[in-house]
Chain A
Amino acid sequence: MTELHSSGDVPRLHLRTSVNGKPVVREIEPRLLLLDFLRDDLGLKGAKRSCDVQVCGTCTVLLDGLPVSACTTLAYEAMDRQLLTIEGLSADGELHPLQAAFIDHSALQCGFCTPGMILAAKSLLDEQPNPTRADMQAYFKGNLCRCTGYYYILDAVAEAAETLAGRARG
């Protein structure tokens, strides 16, 4: 049951979540957006704000492994769930195969969409380890990139899929 309490005039919610594998407990305003929570309260600036209407995907983070637009998700929706941001993808210091492939292919230019794009790609590969190019094109319709024309991004995701498949085969 949601517990709403007040500190001064502003009502507060008790949020208990996990961010990049670490427990996080905060008192938050009910209206707080997940994007502002991550960027301003936790200082995780990898997720970016752009369209504000769940179209562009720059604010994509993974909630229980699935991509959400943090710009249109309430922070409270992360209650008792697992959040993964770009900062948590290589938390042990080793780049994720997607990150490595994005570097290899120069699958980025300005880099503003890159964190969201990589997390969306992770979700795709978790769900579908061997996607076709058409699968990728369809999946990334919610992640815009204005710089690259997407070609190198699709190449990078395909390479990462191979790398991950190779690891899975061991």
Chain B
Amino acid sequence: MASHTVSSGVVGQNVRRVDAHEKVTGQAQFTGDLALPGMLYGRVLRSPLPHARIRALRTEAAEALPGVVTVLTGDDLQDIDPYYGHALRDRPIVALDRVRFVGDHVAAVAAEDEQTAAAALGLIEVDYEELPSATTIEQALAEAAPEIHETGSLRLGLFHGLSNLVPEGNLCYQHGFSKGDTEAIRQQAELVVEGEYVFPSVYQYSMEPHTTLAAWQGDSAIVYSSCQHPYLVRAELADMFGLAVSKVRVIVPYLGGGFGSKSYTRMEPVTLALARKAGRPVRIANRVDESMVTSRRHNMRCWMRTYAAADGTLLAREVRLWLDTGAYADNGPRVVATAADAAPGPYRWQAYEINAYGVYTNRPPAGSYRAFGATHLMWIGESQVDEIARRAGIDRVEIRERNLLRPGEEVRPGGKPLDADLVGDIRKVADALEWGSARPDGVGRGLGVGLLAAGAHPVSSAIVRLEADGSVVLLVSTTELGQGARTVFSQIVAQELGVPIQRITVPGADTQSSPYDRSTGASRSTALAGTAVLLAAHDARDQILRAASRVLGVGQEHLELRDGMVGYGSGSLELAELFVRHFGLAGGEFIGRGVVGPEEGKGSYDEGPVFWEVCIGGAELEVDSETGRIKLRKLVSVADVGQAINPHLVKAQEMGATTQGLGNALYEEMLFEDGQLLNSTLLDYHIPTPQDLPDEFASIIVENEDGPGPYGAKGVGEGALAGVPAAIVNALADLGISAHELPLTPERVWRATEQRRERTPPEH
């Protein structure tokens, strides 16, 4: 839709969060705060082995424990389709014959209280026949690797969204694209940078672990869940349990964070199956160690080579990357595709060859985590661009200014052209870092820029109900996971209907009442659901003005909505009065509807993305040469958001994403040994604390009104995360310390520092 400038009103203002009062008083309800009459507590028995066949499973002792109501095993799933997976239906609700990772679902218990359920798990006897396992990418790709799935018989999931998803052996997915004649450039390029790189497994750590409460009412299922995408969960559950979609109701209270960890279907199938067998409502609340093996960020190995002319003109890039998706595909295929998209980086290449692979291993499944793909690749590509600049003897900002794509240029063959001013953005980072100024001794500066395919499939809808007292109910199925969607949507409605924001209620996602929204993720909600909200508000406004025109005998062109009234010249009509005069009673309502969809079924991934999210960051740091510890002096982010509907909340997204980015860059790594997670508690998995913040943080908002959303808005929230590792890696390289593996623990940095010393000959 066409963008337009906002001259006045609540859009563009730092409106307070509409959910803040509930949240500071402890009244905000999360799924784990809910209970239903007769509710049981569910726990899942998880595999202790990375790969095994289940020869026998005995539940009698567990079932005999007082307080245990039922034990769910694979035998209970014979009358339904037990497999789920939105990309590939490769995962059974509980094991049917095999387990494929440490933590895989073996069985589940429902009991009168949580302690009893936990105790019963220990009474289930399982006879495992251990199978050879492949717990690393290398092992899974080895010639005689054990086959983790019979991939020939895997079925596609409902929402794979990819045109060429054909798993083969332990390759869950492969995706590549190329352009130009890379071979010719290989012969002629004067500068070549090449390296192998490692990215670790990372835990999203949404502080609320995955929680689901499921119940059956007759032949209908009702599921309260900490899920980001209620409509996709509903469709998968309906399909598995053989129900009409309309018989499955998914309700999402406040989410205690998501970051992708609650994307797609998680604990809902096992909870619903357990409730079915128990005949009573069941709640399963994961503990942190369980959530860690429910979803994580893909670890990756990558080889990359960048070619340039002697003057620093970038020519070509070759990339091969392998992402470890674990035992089940989860969102792995999409992560592979998005990583491939991020691999070239936003430069004007003559040629590239990108090949990305998703690999099944006997590790916990990996799925979405904020800025996936871009976070994996950007630090690698940007470190090679910096190295080219050093070898060409040109400034690292200048090499980007010369080679970056300009708005309208092709990013990926067939995809959406660039919709951002990257040169302007990178200059802002450079300014914030005082790029031209002399660096104090021992201080390194770095920056990086990249793109992330954002938006996912563009289908969203919204309903605005104007009530007879002039208050508004906004129904939209975007889930509120902290990003502030309810606040931003309220601002849009307030702007368009001239209603005070306090008069707007956004109750949250309930698939029985709030209309379809594909998902909450991929930075899509403001741009897509926000547009649906805008259209719904316009539809309601048009109806109100038509009614007011009739009631007042004034042409619609003379009417406007302001301050909760219909204004005409110097006169005005209270909305409540309009209802009385239009409907003949203090009742009735105007219902506005807004739907966003791709044109003629387009909007596929190949033709997308909805917009390119700019990933950008800057860093200034020092290294303690004795310990290898990095001290962050400054981090910079640029939020290229098109239009900031709430600048304070845009900055909040940048602050949060940047802090997660520094966790990904410096601290966070899930450590595995033979498929067993070694650091499965927050005691030994460190996420950033307030003491880990940089001395200074600067966030710059860029508003070029070049986005597809309301008022020219794009999305925000992911790009800053990907920018941080790139900026830090490049700031380290500025000190002569090269990094090929994240996170940059003191030990790794210290070793790299020692290597540099060994390489550097003494000066005398």
Q: Which residues of A contact B (CB under 8 A)?
A: 31, 39, 44-53, 55-56, 58, 85-87, 89-90, 95, 98-99, 102-104, 106, 108-115, 118, 136-138, 140-141, 144-154
Contact A106 B16 (CB under 8 A): yes
Q: From B21, B30, B256, B687, name the one whose CB has the most chain A CB atoms within 10 angstroms.
A: B256
Contact B25 A146 (CB under 8 A): no
Residue in A98, A103, A149, A153 whose beta carbon sits within 8 Å of that of B21 in the complex: A103
Give Cα A128–Cα B256 distance, bound, in whole angstroms: 30
Give Cα A87–Cα B27 distance, bound, in whole angstroms: 8
Give Cα A138–Cα B330 distance, bound, in whole angstroms: 39
Contact A108 B483 (CB under 8 A): no
A49-B32, A148-B656 given; A108·B690 CB < 8 A: no
- State the Cβ distance, A39 to closest chain B Cβ, in Å: 8
Give Cα A55–Cα B191 distance, bound, in whole angstroms: 49
List 8 interface pairs A-B (beta carbons < 8 Å), by A numbering: A46-B26, A52-B681, A103-B17, A106-B20, A110-B207, A115-B24, A146-B259, A148-B655
- List CB contacts (< 8 Å) of B274-289 with chain A: 285, 287-288
Contact A50 B23 (CB under 8 A): no
Closest-by-CB residue of B relative to A133 is B690
Which residues of chain A are within 8 angstroms of B207 by Cβ–Cβ distance? 48, 50, 56, 58, 110, 112-113, 144-146
B206 sits at the interface (CB 8 A): yes
- State the Cβ distance, B43 to closest chain A Cβ, in Å: 14
B355 sits at the interface (CB 8 A): no
Give Cα A138–Cα B691 distance, bound, in whole angstroms: 6
Give Cα A148–Cα B651 distance, bound, in whole angstroms: 10
Contact A106 B17 (CB under 8 A): yes
A45-B29, A50-B207, A50-B208 given; A111·B23 CB < 8 A: yes
Contact B682 A56 (CB under 8 A): yes
Contact B689 A144 (CB under 8 A): yes
Closest-by-CB residue of B relative to A102 is B24
Closest-by-CB residue of B relative to A47 is B26
Contact B17 A51 (CB under 8 A): no
B667 sits at the interface (CB 8 A): no
- State the Cβ distance, B130 to closest chain A Cβ, in Å: 30
Give Cα A13–Cα B288 distance, bound, in whole angstroms: 30
- The 5 A-B pairs at the shortest CB distance, nearest first, are namely A46-B26, A109-B482, A110-B482, A111-B23, A112-B256
Closest-by-CB residue of B relative to A110 is B482
Closest-by-CB residue of B relative to A111 is B23
Contact A85 B687 (CB under 8 A): no
B697 sits at the interface (CB 8 A): yes
Contact A108 B205 (CB under 8 A): no
Q: Which residues of B contact A (CB under 8 A)?
A: 16-17, 19-30, 32-33, 115, 205-209, 254-259, 285, 287-288, 481-484, 648-649, 652, 655-660, 681-683, 687-691, 693, 697
Residue in B25, B29, B288 whose beta carbon sits within 8 Å of that of A90 in the complex: B25
Contact A141 B691 (CB under 8 A): yes
A104-B16, A137-B690, A151-B693 given; A146·B257 CB < 8 A: yes
Contact A149 B23 (CB under 8 A): no
Which residues of chain B are within 8 angstroms of A44 by Cβ–Cβ distance? 26
Give Cα A108–Cα B465 distance, bound, in whole angstroms: 28
Closest-by-CB residue of A relative to B697 is A151
Contact A144 B687 (CB under 8 A): yes
A50-B207, A149-B658, A151-B697 given; A108·B682 CB < 8 A: no
Give Cα A86–Cα B205 distance, bound, in whole angstroms: 23
Contact A52 B24 (CB under 8 A): no
Which residues of chain A are within 8 angstroms of B690 by Cβ–Cβ distance? 136-138, 140-141, 150, 153-154
Which residues of chain A are within 8 angstroms of B689 by Cβ–Cβ distance? 137, 140-141, 144
Which residues of chain B are within 8 angstroms of A49 by Cβ–Cβ distance? 32, 209, 285
Which residues of chain A are within 8 angstroms of B115 by Cβ–Cβ distance? 31
A51-B288, A109-B652 given; A99·B24 CB < 8 A: yes
In addition to A53-B683, A56-B207, 13 A-B residue pairs with Cβ atoms within 8 Å of each other are: A31-B115, A56-B682, A85-B26, A102-B24, A106-B652, A109-B484, A110-B206, A110-B257, A112-B206, A114-B24, A146-B207, A146-B660, A148-B655
Contact A146 B687 (CB under 8 A): yes
Closest-by-CB residue of B relative to A141 is B689
Give Cα A79–Cα B179 distance, bound, in whole angstroms: 72
Residue in B16, B27, B652 whose beta carbon sits within 8 Å of that of A103 in the complex: B16
- State the Cβ distance, B67 to closest chain A Cβ, in Å: 11
Give Cα A152–Cα B256 distance, bound, in whole angstroms: 18
Closest-by-CB residue of B relative to A45 is B33
Closest-by-CB residue of B relative to A88 is B26
Which residues of chain B are within 8 angstroms of A47 by Cβ–Cβ distance? 26
Which residues of chain A are within 8 angstroms of B32 by Cβ–Cβ distance? 48-49
Which residues of chain A are within 8 angstroms of B687 by Cβ–Cβ distance? 144, 146
- State the Cβ distance, B627 to closest chain A Cβ, in Å: 19
Contact A147 B257 (CB under 8 A): yes
Contact B655 A151 (CB under 8 A): yes
Give Cα A98–Cα B21 distance, bound, in whole angstroms: 12
Give Cα A102–Cα B257 distance, bound, in whole angstroms: 18
Closest-by-CB residue of A relative to B291 is A50
Residue in A86, A110, A154 whose beta carbon sits within 8 Å of that of B26 in the complex: A86
Which residues of chain B are within 8 angstroms of A115 by Cβ–Cβ distance? 24, 26
Closest-by-CB residue of A relative to B686 is A55
Contact B288 A50 (CB under 8 A): yes
Q: From B27, B30, B656, name the one whose CB has the most chain A CB atoms within 10 angstroms.
A: B656
Give Cα A51–Cα B207 distance, bound, in whole angstroms: 8
- State the Cβ distance, B38 to closest chain A Cβ, in Å: 15
Which residues of chain A are within 8 angstroms of B660 by Cβ–Cβ distance? 146, 149
Give Cα A44–Cα B370 distance, bound, in whole angstroms: 32
Give Cα A146–Cα B483 distance, bound, in whole angstroms: 12
Which residues of chain B are within 8 angstroms of A86 by Cβ–Cβ distance? 24-26
Residue in B20, B481, B655, B697 whose beta carbon sits within 8 Å of that of A108 in the complex: B20
- State the Cβ distance, A71 to closest chain B Cβ, in Å: 10
Residue in B255, B256, B655 whose beta carbon sits within 8 Å of that of A149 in the complex: B655
Give Cα A164–Cα B693 distance, bound, in whole angstroms: 26
Contact B20 A103 (CB under 8 A): yes
Closest-by-CB residue of A relative to B23 is A111
- State the Cβ distance, B710 to closest chain A Cβ, in Å: 20
Give Cα A51–Cα B20 distance, bound, in whole angstroms: 24
Q: From B17, B24, B33, name the one whose CB has the most chain A CB atoms within 10 angstroms.
A: B24
Contact A108 B17 (CB under 8 A): yes
A104-B16, A106-B17, A106-B652 given; A114·B23 CB < 8 A: yes
Give Cα A95–Cα B26 distance, bound, in whole angstroms: 12
- State the Cβ distance, A159 to closest chain B Cβ, in Å: 13
Closest-by-CB residue of A relative to B16 is A103
Which residues of chain B are within 8 angstroms of A114 by Cβ–Cβ distance? 23-24
Give Cα A148–Cα B115 distance, bound, in whole angstroms: 34
Contact B24 A95 (CB under 8 A): yes
Which residues of chain B are within 8 angstroms of A144 by Cβ–Cβ distance? 207, 682, 687, 689
A87-B25, A112-B30, A146-B259 given; A51·B206 CB < 8 A: no
Give Cα A109–Cα B652 distance, bound, in whole angstroms: 8
A86-B26, A106-B16, A141-B691 given; A146·B205 CB < 8 A: yes
Which residues of chain B are within 8 angstroms of A31 by Cβ–Cβ distance? 115
